[in-house]
């Protein structure tokens, strides 16, 4: 590797060291300025296609390095525990974990939010908002020179976006129960757990399941600092990949797919260190080593909780949900 992208170097080191436990593959390669950037998918746990699954995604926006870093820290923790933790081995026998920690490696190397073609991947899906959106922020097709560019109308989605969607369909949406968590930063002074929709104010079909999951976390970790809310409570956007994927779920099919976003509140980091305002990276990532270490630690409980909640989903899914009804029918 003749270029320096620490997050990709660390990811490939994890893949190398985790071979006894981790499966990995390259889903696409991205070219930029003569360099090749592989987009990796890693998986660990049950190979049973009927097992529940949790997918962890990061680095969709190249500037938001912290989303990738928190997932790499989680992967490191899992691999270390696999060497001695019999309870973890038992848990992973009943749940599958899928990781796509660096969706936009070329954008991260180039220190841009967008991919090498100037497209914001989280505005790239063929989904239009049901109401007027904020100028630029909600997604625009004016120019790739402006932020939040959606890409050319009716063109295929970008390679990175297609790769993410393919992984989600194959690894998550094909199962009776699955959760996706996409890690971002840059909005607000509080860490938020967002759920769809981003393009509409209409509640999603699986709102009872999401509220039950939030209530379960509130009961289990009463002192947490997350705010659970629909993304549309803050703003609407065009082109959201998770809306696009969720809308493909067949109604009444009995499957539960819960796409969530961890939106880390980077304004708090800027408030602590206003000099970060003068750095593009500083707007989206903690800069001081002590703050970085706190952030890397602080979300491990949430990640662990999701793996346990998925594994035991039949114990907390609302009684009237499609998944619960399907499970009951299977046992009749």
**Three-class secondary structure of residue 99 per DSSP:** strand
pLDDT tens sequence across 205-224: 999 999 999 999 999 999 99
Neighbouring C-beta atoms of residue 153, cutoff 10 Å: 7
pLDDT tens sequence across 30-41: 999 999 999 999
Strands 177-185 and 256-264: parallel
CA atoms of 207 and 213, how far apart (whole Å): 10
pLDDT tens sequence across 308-321: 999 999 999 998 76
> Where exactly are the structural domains of the chain?
6-330
Task: Extract the tokens encoding 13.
Answer: 């080191």
Average pLDDT over residues 105-132: 98
Residue 324 has pLDDT above 50, yes or no: no
CA atoms of 323 and 315, how far apart (whole Å): 11
Average pLDDT over residues 51-61: 99
CA atoms of 268 and 234, how far apart (whole Å): 18
Whole-number pLDDT of residue 325: 42
At 292, give phi and psi (nearest 5°). -60, -45
Instruction: Choose among 101, 90, 102: nearest CA to 45.
Output: 90
Distance set, CA 307 to CA 114, 120, 213 (Å)? 30, 29, 12
What are residue 193's DSSP bridge partners? 228, 262
CA atoms of 16 and 10, how far apart (whole Å): 10
Residues whose CB is less than 8 angstroms from the CB of residue 80 and which lie 6 or more positions away in sequence, other chains included: none
Whole-number pLDDT of residue 275: 72
pLDDT tens sequence across 168-177: 999 999 999 9
Q: 197 and 78 in contact (C-beta within 8 Å)?
A: no
pTM value? 0.94
Task: Extract the tokens encoding 148.
Answer: 């939040």
CATH superfamily, with its number, for domain 6-330: Zn peptidases (3.40.630.10)
pLDDT tens sequence across 5-15: 999 999 999 99
CA atoms of 64 and 214, how far apart (whole Å): 25
DSSP per position, 100-162: E--S-HHHHHTT-SS-TTS--GGG-SS---SS---TTTT-B-S-TTSSSB--STTSPPPHHHH
At 295, give phi and psi (nearest 5°). -65, -45
Whole-number pLDDT of residue 89: 98
Q: Which residues of 35-58 are buried (b: 16+ CB within 10 A; e: fewer)?
A: bebbbbbbbbbbeeeebbbbbbbb
């Amino acid at each position: 590797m003749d270029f320096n992208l620490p997050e990709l170097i660390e990811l490939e080191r994890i893949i190398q060291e985790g071979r006894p436990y981790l499966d990995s593959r390259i889903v696409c390669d991205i070219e930029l300025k003569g360099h090749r950037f592989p987009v990796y998918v890693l998986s660990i746990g049950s190979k049973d296609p009927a097992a529940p699954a949790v997918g962890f995604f990061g680095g969709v926006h190249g500037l938001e390095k912290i989303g990738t870093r928190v997932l790499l820290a989680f992967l490191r923790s899992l691999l270390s525990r696999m060497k001695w933790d019999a309870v973890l081995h038992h848990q992973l026998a009943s749940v599958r974990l899928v990781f796509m920690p660096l969706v936009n490696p070329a954008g991260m190397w180039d220190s841009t939010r967008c991919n090498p073609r100037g497209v914001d991947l989280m505005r790239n899906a063929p989904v239009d908002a049901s109401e007027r959106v904020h100028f630029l922020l909600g997604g625009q097709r004016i120019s790739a020179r402006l932020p939040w560019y959606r890409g050319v109308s009716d063109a295929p989605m970008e390679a990175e976006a297609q790769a993410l969607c393919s992984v989600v369909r194959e690894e998550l949406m094909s199962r009776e129960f699955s959760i996706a968590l996409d890690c971002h930063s840059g909005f607000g002074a509080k860490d938020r757990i967002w759920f769809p929709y981003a393009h509409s104010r209409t509640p999603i079909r699986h709102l009872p399941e999401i509220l039950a999951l939030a209530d379960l976390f509130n009961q289990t970790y009463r002192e947490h600092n997350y705010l659970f809310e629909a993304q549309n409570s803050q703003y609407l956007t065009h082109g959201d990949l998770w809306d696009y994927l969720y809308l493909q779920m067949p109604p009444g099919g009995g499957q539960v797919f819960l796409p969530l976003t961890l939106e880390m509140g980077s304004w708090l980091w800027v408030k602590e260190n206003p000099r970060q305002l003068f750095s593009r990276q500083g707007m989206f990532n903690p800069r001081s080593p002590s703050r970085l270490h706190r952030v890397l630690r602080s979300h491990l409980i949430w990640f662990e909780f999701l793996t346990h909640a998925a594994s035991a989903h039949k114990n907390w899914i609302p009684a009237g949900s499609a998944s619960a009804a399907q499970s009951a029918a299977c046992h009749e």
